[in-house]
Amino acid sequence: MVKVTFDKENFRRFADHLCADQTVIAPALLPDNSAIYKYVTSADEVTLDAPGVPILSAKEFFFETDEALFTFAKENNSGVVITRPTDPNPRVFLGIRSCDFNGVMFIKQFFAAPFVDETVTKKVDNTVFISLGCSEPAENCFCVCCDGGPFMAAGPDSQLVDLGDRYLCETFTDRGEALLSAYAAYHEPARSEDQRRADEIKSAVDRKFRRRSYMATGVKQMSSNAVPQKIWDRLGNRCISCGSCAFVCPTCTCFNVVDRELGAVGARVRTWDSCSYSGFTREVSGHNPRPAPGDRLKRRFFHKLSYQCLQSNGRIGCVGCGRCVAACPAQVDMSTFVATLRDVTAGERHE
Amino acid sequence: MNSTICPFCSCGCRTYPRISPDERLTGLIPLKNHPVSRGSLCVRGWNSYEYVTHPDRLKVPRVAKNGQQVDSTWEEAIAHAADALTGIAGQWGPDSVGFIGSSRCSNEDNYLLMKLARGVLKTGNIDTADRLAQFPILDALNEGLESAAFTVDLEDLADADFVLAVGTDLFTDCPKVASRVIEALNRGAKLAVVDPRTTKLTKLAHYHLPSYPGTGPLWINGMITHLIRKEKVDAAFINHKTSGYHLLKKELADFSLSRAEAEFGISSDLVKAVSELFFAADNAVIVVGGNTTNFPDDTTIPALINLALITGHAGKNKSGIIMAGGNNNSMGAWDMGVAPRHLPGGVAVSTAGNDVISRLGLEGAPRAGYAYNEMLSRISTGDIRALYVMGDRLLSFTAEREELLRSGANGVFLVVQDIFPSKLTDIADVVLPAMTHFERGGTFTNLERRVQRFDPVHVPRGDTRADWDILNAVARAMGVEFGFDDVFQITDEIASVVPAYHYMTSANLGDDVAGVMCRADGSAAEPYLQETWKVELRPSGFPGEFKIDTDGQFPLIMCSGGFPCFWGTGSRSTRIHNLAREQNAYELQLNPNDAQRYSVKRGWPVRIVAPTEKADAILAINDELREGVAHLRVHKIADESARIPRSPVRIRVESR
């Protein structure tokens, strides 16, 4: 594993140079001082120390909000010409958070089986990931309970650790190393004291999480269907089926496919969707297996927390980024649900 | 990075665009540190982007020539419209021309429409479809409290101890208000809902008063009567801040809650309990919605105002009345004077002084004019000979609209400015294709009276122009130079002429993503905190004689309501896939006993028959709906000629 450090001034220069050479995605600030991942063109825009997680996860750069999968047009009088999109351009994702990187890997896995959906997988494969480990969890974070972060031992091409005056850059892949060598002017080999500081930071971060989420309990309860119906009723009465949770979630993959006119051609378009919408599950006959919002919440949490998810995906379907906690207008997010579950079942055990 | 405001309900969430490489708007993201959106949107907001690039968008101006509508140019279309309007006003007088504005359009658009109507053509015939629901509420609030929006903002609402929601299905009409109510509930607040329907909100309510439509004022006055008799009133507040208490007491001296209970079957104990809780709460908020006028009278709001005043839940922070309903700019359209009887700032035409008139650049005394429904009904009488319609399909008065569609070009000279085609644009003499708000800038005023600036987030489609730009050009073609090159110049003029918008300069608005709050007199301090603030308690009166007539021809009374995936008349929400799929037909809900009584079953296609209209729906059974009431859930105005009876209305139900 190659380890180098960038002092912060050189890191800015590196980022500028990278933006000039490549297409770069990085966290940036919005006018309300919240963070967002976006395409950046200079180091000025890159804000690795932006407060809190970016409003949306990184998935929109791979599984897009609204994407033409292919276009179709008439050819002469009887033919149809189908045009597929060209291969995606290579990109560098600088400063993706661990939770969001794990989310991207989860999404790629989803779209890679039972057949490979290259509209997603190729974008992931063509992107170099230089992640940023989090030394200060934000208010709603609970990645530590979900195997979602805050630091990774493998996975991205490189991982940055903020040491204060410099970044330690740990590189896990050949591709990552190749990128580093192309920008050797900006970094130097890591010293043992850099490594020591990084280790200290990594071990200190667990204590800084303000939100404890009882995910293990959640998984057990969901898997054994031991959730009292009254919880679903209570949550369902509040859930407004807005879809915010699905849209901000790094691991949600619900989508809709529609055909649209796009000028002179037709386009088959995939858009984001949400299982919290009633129409998502409604069948052609009009029957809806999940008619009540509570039914759909139940399905959502089961999908993410059950043993089935663990078995199919190798991990639970939540990376603990805390976005749903912030986004839910009715306070029926993942973390609240698991905490409620724990309280209710603890209470019932004592009754 | 430009941001915009959601164009649907009156909450006013701020969003950032997602733009694809081929410059299409492909998504919207809520702003996190924004007092309204707080990092989330509702189902409409998240999906709203899709209609901007819909192929149906109007793209070129059109004019009718020899009975045929053909593509035209801006120069020709505007000249044609201007000539016709001035000609007709010249020949038949200013009262023969009518203007219909839109609570979906920006403050600047509506302000210029007002200037065109009152300043250029000198007519008082200007109104908007909100006349049918939101505007009566705002008029009553303005009259009763000297402010068309009261003291409660969204943050205050989350701190309420007691919420009284009247005539509103919050989860459908105003999701961000519903979100704050949930917050208050999670903190231990109590919720009472007065609504003939059962909705998601009534499910969360601690107290549900399923008042028979039209009887709202009875229960509210019942509450007031009870509190007066028990002396559970804020005597100090009444003495200090109100006048006319003795008249109110006199009006209610003989009121008998038990008699009302006997007739309409709502427990008077429930009414009394809710009133006492309302009085005793530290922070009590009344939330009123458009369906408050599911009660067909103008007594409900005055009664609610009295309730707030006598209990002292007015004139201080975190208590009072908040309007939850209407479109993204209902409040703004009202403030901009898109109304026949008031000028920008809510100044009544009848009492406007010379200073107001000159400040607004009007010459001579402004006239009171016809309201929305009056303009429509006067087409067939020949009183209205030209109609300028901005952002409306006139769907609310089906009979008059059908008459208009039938008479076509012969009946009235019709100019329509809109984003999508409709049967109205089909028969128009001039069609002017407008930009959606995503493609331009301006300001909207939300239900909190927060004015927010929005900027373009999408390249304009087709050869469209912004509504204000079109109106500017029409005035110019009539020989009047408004002098605006940029929308925010209009914003600045509004700030200089409307006292409540004094701080809404484009510079101030540009600085703060949260927008700027209005103050009724333009000062920084809340008006009701001024020492001198004092209002009159006005007896609300009672609705007319109201009899339930279950044996007659129309034994049921129908209220309508919306649907979270639907908005307005559906011209936008039905052009968004994730919204349009949610429901396919009108759904009429009946109590199971009523369904049995009228021999219809769940899932059956039924016909709704009202005295002058019919509509088709699918029947649904709602165990919790009270007998005698039908609830029509309107999903989309599928067939523009479908004559949906405007509720509340007496109906009968037949199977098809």
Tell me how far apart the alpha carbons of residues B441 and B244 are, in angstroms, rounded to a whole number.
46
Closest to A121 (Cα-Cα) out of A106, A107, A102, A108: A108
Distances (CA, A) of B447 to B153, B324, B516: 8, 7, 13
Q: Does pLDDT of B60 surpass 90?
A: yes
The answer on pLDDT for B519 being more than 70 is: no
Residue with tokens 């205050």: B156
> Does residue B408 surpass a pLDDT of 70?
no
Percent residues over pLDDT 70 in chain A: 98
State the DSSP H helix or E strand holding residue B347, giving kind and residue range, or none if neither: strand B347-348
Angstrom distance (rounded) from CA B298 to CA B293: 8
CB B181 within 8 A of CB B157: yes
Of B421, B361, B390, B428, residue with least CA distance to B109: B390
CB B473 within 8 A of CB B78: yes
CA distance B625 to chain A (A): 17
Q: What is the pLDDT of residues B282-315, one digit of tens each?
A: 999 999 887 655 444 577 888 898 999 999 998 7
Token pair for residue B326?
């209407």
Burial class (CB in 10 A: 0-12, 13-18, 19+), B350: exposed
3-class secondary-structure state, position B165:
strand
Cα separation values, A165 from A134, B93, B411, Å: 16, 77, 77
Q: Tell me if chain B has a CB within 8 Å of the CB of A85.
A: no
Instruction: Please enumerate in sequence order all residues whose Cβ is within 8 A of that of B253, keeping only pairs 6 or more positions apart, or say none.
Output: none
Amino acid sitting at position B170? L
Contact criterion met (CB below 8 Å) for A283 and A228: no
Chain A nearest-CA distance from B41, in A, is 6
pLDDT on residue A109: 95
Question: Cβ–Cβ of A331/B34 closer than 8 Å?
Answer: no
**How many other C-beta atoms are found inside a 10 Å radius of the C-beta of residue B639?**
11
Q: State the average pLDDT for chain B.
A: 87
Q: Which of A242-251, B75-84, B540-549 has the lowest mean pLDDT?
A: B540-549
**pLDDT number for residue B316:** 74
- Please list every residue in chain B whose beta carbon sits closer than 8 Å to the beta carbon of residue A328: 40
The DSSP element (H or E) to which A216 belongs, if any, is: helix A215-223
Q: Quick check: bond before A289 cis, omega within 30?
A: no
- Residues A17 and A11: their CA atoms lie apart, in Å, by 10
Amino acid at B652: R
- Average pLDDT of the segment spanning B258-278: 85
Cβ contacts below 8 Å, chain A against chain B, sum to 119
Of the candidates B20, B31, B179, which has its C-beta nearest A329's C-beta? B179
User: Chain A closest CA to B517's CA: distance in Å?
Assistant: 18
| Interface test with chain B among A23, A25, A29, A32, by most B beta carbons within 10 Å | A32
- What is the number of other CB atoms lying within 10 angstroms of the CB of residue A128? 20
- Contact list in B for residue A327 (CB cut-off 8 A) is 30, 39-40
- Describe the crossing of helices B467-477 and B107-114 by its angle, rounded to 10 degrees: 20
- Cβ–Cβ contact B201 with A under 8 A: no
Which ranges of B205-251 would DSSP assign to H, the alpha helix? Answer: 216-229, 235-241, 245-251
Peptide bond into B302 cis (omega under 30): no
Cα–Cα separations (whole angstroms), residue A133 to A28, A144, A147, A202, B592: 16, 12, 13, 9, 59
ipTM for the complex? 0.92
B26 touching A (Cβ < 8 Å): yes
Chain B residues touching A273 at Cβ < 8 A: 578
pLDDT at B217: 78
Chain B nearest-CA distance from A13, in A, is 24
Residues of chain B with Cβ-Cβ distance to A256 below 8 Å are: 577-578
Residue with tokens 């078995």: A311
- Cβ contact (<8 Å) for A329 and B50? no
Q: Report whether the peptide linkage leading into residue A150 is cis, meaning its omega lies within 30 degrees of zero.
A: yes
Please indicate if any CB of chain B lies within 8 Å of the CB of A96.
Answer: no
| Angle between helix A293-305 and helix A215-223 axes, rounded to 10 deg | 110
A256 in contact with B, Cβ within 8 Å: yes
pLDDT in tens, B106-158: 999 999 999 999 999 999 999 999 888 788 888 888 887 776 556 688 888 99
pLDDT, tens digit (0-9, with 9 covering 90-100), for B358-368: 888 888 788 89
Q: How many CA atoms lie within 13 A of A126 on its CB side?
A: 18
Q: Do the beta carbons of residue B391 and residue B467 sit within 8 Å?
A: yes
Would you say how long chain A is, in residues? 351
Residues B586-611 pLDDT 10s: 889 999 999 999 999 998 999 999 88
pLDDT along chain A (351 residues), means of 10: 94 97 95 92 94 92 95 87 92 97 96 94 97 92 89 96 96 96 96 95 91 76 81 90 95 95 89 93 86 91 86 91 92 82 68 38
How far, in Å, CA of A52 to CA of A138, rounded? 5
Q: Lowest mean pLDDT: which of A284-298, B260-274, B531-545?
A: B531-545
**pLDDT at site B529:** 58
* CA–CA separation, A156 and A153 (whole Å): 9
CA A167 from centroid of its chain's CA atoms: 23
Do B587 and B632 contact (CB within 8 A), yes or no?
yes
Q: Hey, are the CB atoms on B46 and A242 less than 8 Å from each other? A: yes
CA B156/CA B152 separation, integer angstroms: 6
